[in-house]
Structure 1
Amino acid sequence: MARIVNLGQQVWSNYHQTAECNLKARIELINGDEKNGRAHLKGVAETVRDLLREARQYHIPVRPVGAGWSPSPINVVEDGWLVETLRLNRTYKLAAKDLHEDCEVAAEALLLVQAGATVDEVYESAEEIGRSLRTGGASNGQSFAGACATGTHGSVWQAGGIQDHVRAVQMVTPERIFWISPEKAVLSDAFIAQTGSEIIRDDRIFAAAQLHVGAMGFVTAMLIETDPIYMVQNIQKAAKIKREHIDWLSRGEFRKFSNAFGLNESPYFQQVILNPFDPFDKKCLLRFLYKRPFDPNIPPPPPRDMGAGYDALTLLGKAMAHSDLFKGAIMQFAMEQGYPDNRDVDDPPAIATWGHTTEEHAPIASLFNGSVTLDRNRLSEVFDLIINNFRRGGGGTVVTLRFVRQAAGLLAPAHWPDNVVIDFDGPNIESSHSGYKKVIEALDGAGIPFTRHWGKTNNLDEQRVKRDYGQNFADWKWAQAQVMPDPADRQVFANEELVKLGLI
């Protein structure tokens, strides 16, 4: 069983201090001493189920939370229980006998991850067995389960979101404990039974569970698929781009773009941070990662040389947090000070494993971040519309372009075959919000379909979620009802944000 530590009634703030709530109780779950992994998973799941039953009995809403990373209020609950999972952080290898005879994934590629394991802990566990994740977000402090639940993505243009790794999910409701997987079985019936779980093998329910936004139950463990370990070489620089370069990116001509600013090969990862006040005459910040074979004899360089932490929030959040005058030249100065030309093509190569491309950082208070995701092929068409309206609305933040493939999960924002994710990161002031709202209005006015990130500022409601996701939303609601047919069970997971989104 998991140990329960009740930390009592308190005011709780999320990691970035963008949302807070008055809790009836903050509850921490801690792993017990069981040596057998399956028995341990069973005990943890039963502890969670009993907590949820008690919450249902007394009409207390519950929010599971890992690192509390999402800046949106999706992980807060007023006058409820916040149940923390960060100390449920074990990872396990699997043996071939643990897998179903129909499983098409080799046991050595699979890793069983408890809900509270952070992305960094999963990186380390994977590398210990000669494996790697294939994508991730800009940071590594999130819980892996939380990153999956909100569709966290990076800029690996051959991959979707971090939830693409997931092959099965242990999900707990007030009534039952499930292992949810696709119809093509992954775990053996015997393994599932020993974890105290029932079997659900259904493609639609699994696609809902991969990105569940915290509204389908309480995830206690996940089975993920990893790749053979590899390394990446980092190139980062400040450089001016031209309008034709936006056209190249829109068409997916990434090697051509890379050849102009980095190496003459297809990048694995590609990121462009722009100054919206002058995207072509001011230098933008470019980062490329190129895949390399694993070499255990290459010592990892300092995180700075790998561009670790050089996402827009880390670069600019602190600089902008106390100023609403962060415009034009001031923004450019901060951009270039935080992102110097220190790893260009002629410099000694900086090469490390994928897990060394991010690092933890201190919380950045008073930040704003929003994003829109749309069909990458429309980037050229909408670029000026987005930049001009963002600036017209007073937006004083940087704009980042990221590129990802279609992601797994019914509610994945990246649901076009090829996607561009456009991020707006900066200080939590009115001009940031108004600039983002102008972008939303402009895209709607032009009839351009787009989606928004579940874990960021998004200004969504149920009507808009239904419009954006259509049949996928209907299928997700159907799947939720299969897992929790009793509305009273679903209400256990309700908070103001999920009700507004129509997910509870």
Structure 2
Amino acid sequence: MAQVTRHGQQIWCNYHQTAECNLGDRIELLNGDEANGRAHLKGVAETVLALLKEAKYCQIPVRPIGAGWSPSPINVVEDGWLVETLRLNRTFKLSAKDLHADCDVGAESLLLVQAGATVDEVYESAEEIGRSLRTGGASNGQSFAGACATGTHGSVWQEGGIQDHVRAVQLVTPDRILWISPKKAILSDDFIAQTGSQIIRNDRIFAAAQIHVGAMGFVTAMLIETDPIYMVQNIQKAAKIKREHIDWLCRGEFRRFSAAFGLNEEPYFQQLILNPFDPFDKKSLLRFLYKRPHDASIPPPPPGQMGAGYDALTLLGRAMAESDWFKGEILQLAMEQAYPDNRDVDDPPAIATWGNTTEEHAPIASLFNGSVTMDRSKLSEAFDLIIDSFRRGGGCTVVTLRFVRQAQGLLAPAHWPDNVVIDFDGPNVESSHQGYKNVVEALDDAGIAFTRHWGKTNNLDEHRVKRDYEQNFANWKWAQAQVMPDAADRRVFANDELVKLGLI
């Protein structure tokens, strides 16, 4: 069994200090001294099962919490129990004898990841065995399970979200411990039985569990698939773009765009950070990552030469929000200070493993973090509309363009074949909220379909979630009912945000 520490009633605030609640109890879980990974997973799951049974009997809502990273109130639970998993952070290799006869991937590509392991810890575990993740968000401090639950994405244009790595989920409800995977089996029945889990092999239920938004149960572990280790070369610079470059990106002409500003090859990852007050006459911040073979003899450069520098954007944006004077100029200063180490094509190359592409992160207080995701082919049509409506609303954040393929999971925001994600990151002031609200209304008025990130400020409700996801939402609700047929079980995971979204 896992060790349980009850810290009692207290005020809890999330990582970025954007939401808080009065907890009935903060409960911390820690691994026991079991002999192997299967026993660890079984012990933790049985401990969580007992907690959930108690919570159901006492009618107390429960929220599992990893790093508490999401700026949205999706993690808060007034007068409930917050169950912390960050110390459940082990990862385990598998061997060929653990695989099902129908499995079509090698054991060397698989990792068992406990719910509290952070993205950075998973990077490190993968690299220790010569493997790598394919994509990830802008930061590395989230729990891997939490990042998957909200559909976190990066800007790897040939990949979807971080949940695409997931091949199975151990999920606990107040009634049972489940092992949910696709119909095509990966791990053997005997291995799964030793984790204390009942098996559900169903493609639709698995697709729901990949992005469960904390409303399908308590995830205690995940099985993820990795790639052979590789490296990436970073090019990041400040440069002016033109309107025609937006059209190139809209059409997916990424190599053409890269050749104009970076290397004349297909980028693996690319993003643009724009000044919405003057996106074409002010410099944008461009970042490209190009895939390279792994070479253990190459020492990693300092993090600033590989990272994106989001903190400077947000913290300097706060000063800009204090005044209406010269907003564009102050924002430009903030942007250019965010890239203190330009890495241009003529500079000595900055090359590191994928796990070294994100920087260590500190909490950003009073953060505003919103986004819209849409079909990439709509970018040219929507770009001017978004910029103009954002400015009219008084928005005072930077605007970032990212590009991803269709992501896995029924509730994945990136559900078009090719997607552009447009982020609005800056200070948590009224003008940021109003600018974002104007963008959402303008897109609706223009009839341009879009979705929003589950873990960010999104202003969603059940009606809009149903409209955005249609049959996928209905399938997700069906899957939730298969996992937790008893409505009383589902209510254990309720909070105001999930009820508003129609997910509980």
Measured against the shorter chain, the TM-score band is over 0.9
Confirm or deny: 8 A CA contact 1:139 1:309 kept in the other structure.
Answer: no
Alignment-derived partner of residue 53 in structure 2: 53
Confirm or deny: 8 A CA contact 2:6 2:27 kept in the other structure.
Answer: yes
Deviations 1:47-66 (A, max 9, x none): 00000000000000000000
The equivalences for 1:34-433 within 5 A come to 34-306=34-306, 308-311=307-310, 314-322=311-319, 323-325=321-323, 327-340=327-340, 342-433=342-433
Deviations 1:264-299 (A, max 9, x none): 001000010000000000000000000000000000
The Cα shift of 1:149 comes to 0.1
Q: Which moved more, 1:443-452 or 1:331-340?
A: 331-340
Structure 1, unpaired ranges of 5+: none
Amino acid at match of 2:318: A
SS of equivalent to 1:415: coil
Tell me how far apart the structure 1 counterparts of residues 344 and 241 of structure 2 sit (CA, whole Å). 16
SS of equivalent to 1:419: strand
The Cα shift of 1:325 comes to 2.3
Tell me how far apart the structure 1 counterparts of residues 296 and 336 of structure 2 sit (CA, whole Å). 33
Tell me how far apart the structure 1 counterparts of residues 37 and 225 of structure 2 sit (CA, whole Å). 18
Deviations 1:279-326 (A, max 9, x none): 0000000000000000000000100111x2423xx2311112354327
Q: Give the aligned length.
A: 501
The Cα shift of 1:342 comes to 2.1
Deviations 1:356-410 (A, max 9, x none): 0012211000110100000001100110000000000000110000000000000
Confirm or deny: 8 A CA contact 1:466 1:473 kept in the other structure.
Answer: yes
Tell me how far apart the structure 2 counterparts of residues 251 and 448 of structure 1 sit (CA, whole Å). 17
Tell me how far apart the structure 1 counterparts of residues 119 and 277 of structure 2 sit (CA, whole Å). 34
The equivalences for 1:14-53 within 5 A come to 14-53=14-53
Tell me how far apart the structure 2 counterparts of residues 12 and 334 of structure 1 sit (CA, whole Å). 31
Q: What is the RMSD of the two structures over their aligned residues, measured on CA atoms? A: 0.8
Tell me how far apart the structure 2 counterparts of residues 157 and 179 of structure 1 sit (CA, whole Å). 31
Q: Give TM-score scaled by structure 1 length.
A: 0.99
Confirm or deny: 8 A CA contact 1:49 1:177 kept in the other structure.
Answer: yes
SS of equivalent to 1:321: helix
Tell me how far apart the structure 2 counterparts of residues 416 and 315 of structure 1 sit (CA, whole Å). 32
Tell me how far apart the structure 1 counterparts of residues 464 and 132 of structure 2 sit (CA, whole Å). 37
SS of equivalent to 1:333: helix
Tell me how far apart the structure 2 counterparts of residues 341 and 2 of structure 1 sit (CA, whole Å). 45
Confirm or deny: 8 A CA contact 1:250 1:379 kept in the other structure.
Answer: yes
Tell me how far apart the structure 1 counterparts of residues 377 and 340 of structure 2 sit (CA, whole Å). 31
Confirm or deny: 8 A CA contact 2:14 2:71 kept in the other structure.
Answer: yes
SS of equivalent to 2:232: strand
Tell me how far apart the structure 2 counterparts of residues 186 and 329 of structure 1 sit (CA, whole Å). 54
The Cα shift of 1:31 comes to 0.6
Confirm or deny: 8 A CA contact 2:42 2:195 kept in the other structure.
Answer: yes
Tell me how far apart the structure 1 counterparts of residues 429 and 45 of structure 2 sit (CA, whole Å). 41
Tell me how far apart the structure 2 counterparts of residues 277 and 146 of structure 1 sit (CA, whole Å). 34
SS of equivalent to 1:42: helix
Confirm or deny: 8 A CA contact 1:179 1:198 kept in the other structure.
Answer: yes
Alignment-derived partner of residue 438 in structure 2: 438
Deviations 1:246-271 (A, max 9, x none): 00000000000000000000100001
Q: Per the alignment, do residues 370 and 178 of structure 1 end up closer, same or farther by CA in structure 2, a change over 3 Å counting?
A: same
Tell me how far apart the structure 1 counterparts of residues 102 and 213 of structure 2 sit (CA, whole Å). 29
Confirm or deny: 8 A CA contact 1:155 1:403 kept in the other structure.
Answer: yes
Confirm or deny: 8 A CA contact 1:157 1:268 kept in the other structure.
Answer: yes
Alignment-derived partner of residue 5 in structure 2: 5
Tell me how far apart the structure 2 counterparts of residues 154 and 437 of structure 1 sit (CA, whole Å). 24
The Cα shift of 1:105 comes to 1.0
Structure 2, unpaired ranges of 5+: none
Tell me how far apart the structure 1 counterparts of residues 328 and 430 of structure 2 sit (CA, whole Å). 17
The Cα shift of 1:339 comes to 1.2
Tell me how far apart the structure 2 counterparts of residues 5 and 362 of structure 1 sit (CA, whole Å). 26
Tell me how far apart the structure 2 counterparts of residues 438 and 167 of structure 1 sit (CA, whole Å). 39
Confirm or deny: 8 A CA contact 1:231 1:294 kept in the other structure.
Answer: yes
Tell me how far apart the structure 2 counterparts of residues 47 and 320 of structure 1 sit (CA, whole Å). 44
Amino acid at match of 2:481: A
SS of equivalent to 2:101: coil
Tell me how far apart the structure 2 counterparts of residues 349 and 414 of structure 1 sit (CA, whole Å). 32
Q: Which moved more, 1:336-345 or 1:40-49?
A: 336-345
Deviations 1:224-245 (A, max 9, x none): 0000000000000000000000
Tell me how far apart the structure 2 counterparts of residues 169 and 342 of structure 1 sit (CA, whole Å). 41
SS of equivalent to 1:16: coil
Tell me how far apart the structure 2 counterparts of residues 185 and 337 of structure 1 sit (CA, whole Å). 50
Q: Per the alignment, do residues 341 and 45 of structure 1 end up closer, same or farther by CA in structure 2, a change over 3 Å counting?
A: closer
Confirm or deny: 8 A CA contact 1:25 1:80 kept in the other structure.
Answer: yes
Alignment-derived partner of residue 494 in structure 2: 494
The Cα shift of 1:109 comes to 0.3
Confirm or deny: 8 A CA contact 2:6 2:28 kept in the other structure.
Answer: yes
Q: Give TM-score scaled by structure 2 length.
A: 0.99
Amino acid at match of 2:323: L
Confirm or deny: 8 A CA contact 1:182 1:201 kept in the other structure.
Answer: yes
SS of equivalent to 1:463: helix
Tell me how far apart the structure 2 counterparts of residues 422 and 134 of structure 1 sit (CA, whole Å). 21
